[in-house]
């Protein structure tokens, strides 16, 4: 009997092949769409994470409390050791130190007299050490407007617009005027080797971007950093994990009472990002919900149509003596099996595409050369854990429920009706 039913499914293309294809396509679209939306939302976080917050940020406890003031005197020391510890404790992440500081730059004329002066929001990141991914993550090569990237500690980049205002061109030497982490007055010369267009909010405006080694010299903070940014190796922010990680990390150092102990803050808890993340969670649900509802309705109808078409056959089977429950059960099992088949295939293909988007991405930069926005020009996806089972709803539940609804007729109506509908 089971073999008989299987034969029926396999031979009836619109029940087997077409249904599997339809469900496969539906589930495929759902999975890809889900991964795509996750990728887009992650991309919205990505720039800020790279330039401002990291996925987690480690500072001293005291610095964290007054982070908005950029309190240099509360900077981390012993950074190498802390970094080593962090890398050992969190193998799925990488960490990079930096110094965020303010100051003035002085642009001298040929005689060495001040020609222009202005404030800078300086950022010293790890541009030069061999394993660092900062140049790649900041996309500096593409953002370079003029000149080249720094190759030594005394070289720096200046924001493009600001450089033009101060009439600084690559090759000019500027003097940074600021204070060391101990509060002492300091000056330090940097050669501006290039200008960059960062264009992310206020960050780009008065930017002086240099390697951390130069800043350490300038500010007298050997082995120091104001913050250490941590990123997931795949660059996708996992909010729950980051929050839990930070909580663990801080709990382990809670008892010391040391103001200068390292303290971890997840992306969520910086710059009001929590509200943004919560908003994004809701938006994801809405985006995906609408799409899923559409696909669910389509596949639900597929289940109904496939069954309605078969009323005649069902009537005959009942007339020959098959019980209602058996006929109904076989329809439901059949559509479940077909649905699971489509779900598996659709999910597999969909995940493959999302995986490609996640690992490689599709670069549409060439199409948008003149479009200078602080979003990346790589279309990305992200495999989320729910991608593995989300397709079950439109792919299996919907057609099975559709089949059940249509199959209800077997119980509800008098059986002779089933023939009438066949003849009509």
Ligand X SMILES: Nc1ncnc2c1ncn2[C@@H]1O[C@H](COP(=O)(O)OP(=O)(O)OP(=O)(O)O)[C@@H](O)[C@H]1O
Tokens 């991914």 sit on residue: 133
Find the angle CA(394)-CA(395)-CA(396) to the nearest 5 degrees: 105
Q: Give 217 or 417: the residue with its C-beta nearer to ligand X.
A: 417
State which of positions 304-333 bind other proteins (CB under 8 A).
312-313, 315-325
Rule CB under 6 A: which residues touch ligand X? 416-417, 420
> In terms of C-beta density within 10 A (0-12 exposed, 13-18 middle, 19 or more buried), how is residue 113 classed?
exposed
- Cβ of residue 413: shortest distance to ligand X, in angstroms? 8
313 binds, among other proteins, ligand X, none (CB under 5 to 8 A by kind): other proteins
Provide CB contacts within 8 A for 409, sequence distance 6+.
311, 417, 418
Residues 6+ apart with CB under 8 A from 87: 93, 94, 95
353 touches 362 (CB < 8 A): no
Nearer to other proteins, 77 or 404 (CB): 404
| Residues 196 and 142 sit within 8 Å (Cβ to Cβ) | no
Bridging pattern class, strands 207-211 and 114-125: parallel
- Gyration radius from the chain CA atoms: 31
The three-class DSSP label of residue 116 is strand
Distances (CA, A) of 257 to 72, 173, 249, 278, 409: 20, 44, 14, 32, 72
Please identify, using beta-carbon distances, which residue of 152 and 416 lies nearer to ligand X.
416
Token pair belonging to 341: 């088949």
Give least dist CB 338 to other proteins, A.
14
The number of CA neighbours under 13 Å toward the Cβ of 326 is 11
CB of 332 to other proteins, least distance (A): 17
| Minimum gap (Å) between residue 414 Cβ and ligand X | 6
Residue 415 as a binder of other proteins (CB under 8 A): the answer is: yes
Task: Tell me which stretch binds other proteins (CB under 8 A): 68-76, 242-250, 294-302, 410-418.
Answer: 410-418
Which option in ligand X, other proteins, none does residue 375 bind, with CB closer than 5 to 8 A by kind?
Answer: none
Draw the binding track, 173-202, toward other proteins (x: CB under 8 A; -: no contact). ------------------------------
Least separation, in Å, of the C-beta of 384 and ligand X? Answer: 51
Nearer to other proteins, 269 or 322 (CB): 322
- Residue closer to other proteins (CB basis): 316 or 379: 316
- Among ligand X, other proteins, none, the one that 220 touches (CB under a kind-dependent 5 to 8 A) is none
- Give the one entry of other proteins, ligand X, none that residue 146 binds, where binding means its C-beta sits below a cut-off of 5 to 8 angstroms depending on kind: none
Contacts to other proteins by CB under 8 A: 1, 4, 7-8, 11-12, 312-313, 315-325, 414-416, 419, 422-423
């Amino acid at each position: 009997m089971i073999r008989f039913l299987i034969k029926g499914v396999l031979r009836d293309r619109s029940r087997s092949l077409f249904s599997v294809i339809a469900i496969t396509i539906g589930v495929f679209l759902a999975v890809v769409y889900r991964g795509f939306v996750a990728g887009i939302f992650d991309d919205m976080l990505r720039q800020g994470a790279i330039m401002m917050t990291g996925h987690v940020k480690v500072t001293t406890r005291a610095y964290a409390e007054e982070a908005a003031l950029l309190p240099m005197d509360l900077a981390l020391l012993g950074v190498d050791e802390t970094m080593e510890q962090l890398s050992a404790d969190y193998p799925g992440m990488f960490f990079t130190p930096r110094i965020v500081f303010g100051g003035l730059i002085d642009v001298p004329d040929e005689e060495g007299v001040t020609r222009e002066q202005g404030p800078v929001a300086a950022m010293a990141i790890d541009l030069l050490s061999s394993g660092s991914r900062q140049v790649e993550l900041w996309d500096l090569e593409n953002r370079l407007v003029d000149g080249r990237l720094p190759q030594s500690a005394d070289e720096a980049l200046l924001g493009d617009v600001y450089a033009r205002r101060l009439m600084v061109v690559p090759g000019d030497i500027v003097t940074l005027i600021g204070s060391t982490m101990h509060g002492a007055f300091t000056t330090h010369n940097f050669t501006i080797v290039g200008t960059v267009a960062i264009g992310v909010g206020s960050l780009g405006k008065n930017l002086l971007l240099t390697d951390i080694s130069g800043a350490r010299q300038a500010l007298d903070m050997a082995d120091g950093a104001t913050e250490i940014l941590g990123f997931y190796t795949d660059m996708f922010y996992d909010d729950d994990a980051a929050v839990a990680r930070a909580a663990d990390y801080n709990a382990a150092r809670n008892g010391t009472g040391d103001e200068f102990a390292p303290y971890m803050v997840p992306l969520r808890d910086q710059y009001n990002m929590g509200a943004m993340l919560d908003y994004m969670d809701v938006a994801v649900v809405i985006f995906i919900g609408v799409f899923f509802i559409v696909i669910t309705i389509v596949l639900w109808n597929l289940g109904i149509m496939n069954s309605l078409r078969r009323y005649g056959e069902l009537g005959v089977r009942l007339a020959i003596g098959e019980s209602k429950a058996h006929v109904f059960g076989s329809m439901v099992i059949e559509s479940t099996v077909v649905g699971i088949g489509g779900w598996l295939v659709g999910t597999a293909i969909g995940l493959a595409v999302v995986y490609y988007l996640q690992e490689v991405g599709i670069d549409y930069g060439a199409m948008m050369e003149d479009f200078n926005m602080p979003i990346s020009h790589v279309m990305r996806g992200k495999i989320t854990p729910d991608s593995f089972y989300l397709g079950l709803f439109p792919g299996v539940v919907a057609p099975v429920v559709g089949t059940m609804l249509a199959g209800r007729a077997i119980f509800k109506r008098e059986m002779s009706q089933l023939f009438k509908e066949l003849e009509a």
